[in-house]
Amino acid sequence: MNDLLATAVQAHGGLDRWNKLSAVKVSASITGAIWHLKGKPDYFKNIVMTVDTRKERMVTEFPDEDKRIVFEPRRIAVERKDGTLIQARDNPEAAFQGQVRETPWDDFHVAYFQGEALWTYLNTPFLYTQDGFITEEIASIEVEGETWRRLKVSFPDRVKSHTRQQISCFGPDGLLRRHDYTVDILGGATGLNYASDYRNVDGIIFPTKRRIYAYEGDYQRVPEPLLVKIDMGNITTS
């Protein structure tokens, strides 16, 4: 583990504490322009996500509906609350082939995008210590009077995420400030994912707000529209 990753992991609660967990459960509202563009504006407005910390799996519950979604990289299942299968899609990533910016999404498309995204976000930066991840500190940047150290992360093939190479930016306190990437299933669309409003939950430090914008050129933020807005309420670990 390089110095920057070690600093970030310690700032977020430490690997010893994280390794005692098996899941993180989060009540959240996820809105923003991307969901309007894809015809699902309020799909994730009131949800509860349970994220596995040891394998790529997430269960999303809808408190107002008799429905839950089980995300795994190679299968999406829509179930009733009691686990009865409603419908499923194998190899869900393949369903994005041939899509353009305005292509509407079905329930499986939105579930796959949300699953690969939120599983990554909620496991960061501890995820980067797993086997197969390659990390390298690259040149720091100055943002609003702070120096942000940047970690370039190469994901292993076994993990489905936005793209294979992503950059995490950490502030002087070691906490994540921004997560930079492109999104393969959106044709390489760009994302600057700002993390803030940190909370200590059982010794792990989580950002409870995420604001995601597109960028142009050398990571220059496009201020409008706000692509994704994530607000987290109650968070518990197990």
6-61: pLDDT as tens digits = 999 999 999 999 999 999 999 999 999 999 999 999 999 999 999 999 999 999 99
pLDDT value at residue 181: 98
| DSSP letter for each residue of 49-77 | EEEESSSS-EEEE-TTSS-EEEEETTEEE
- The Cα 227–Cα 211 span in angstroms is 8
pTM: 0.96
Domain ranges of the chain: 3-237
| 204: three-class secondary structure by DSSP | strand
Report the pLDDT value the prediction gives residue 102, as an integer from 0 to 100: 87
| CATH number, domain 3-237 | 2.50.20.10
| DSSP H helical ranges for 61-163 | 107-123
| Token digits of residue 63 | 């408190």
63's torsion region: left (phi>0), alpha (psi -120 to 50) or beta?
alpha
222/238 Cα distance (integer angstroms): 38
Alpha helices in the chain (DSSP H): 3-11, 15-18, 33-37, 107-123
Annotate 32-53 with DSSP letters as a single string. SHHHHHTT-TTTEEEEEEEEES
For 131-152, the pLDDT digits (tens) are: 999 999 999 999 999 999 999 9
pLDDT reported for residue 165: 98
Please say whether the beta carbons of 219 and 192 come within 8 A.
yes
> 5, 197 in Cβ contact below 8 A?
no
Q: In the chain, what percentage of residues exceed pLDDT 70? A: 100
Give the model confidence (pLDDT) of 193-216 as tens digits: 999 999 999 999 999 999 999 999
CB 205 within 8 A of CB 173: no
String of b and e for 188-227 (b: at least 16 CB within 10 Å)?
ebbbbbbbeebeebeebbbbbebbbbbbeeeeeeeeeeeb
What is the rounded CA–CA span in Å between residue 192 and residue 129?
Answer: 22
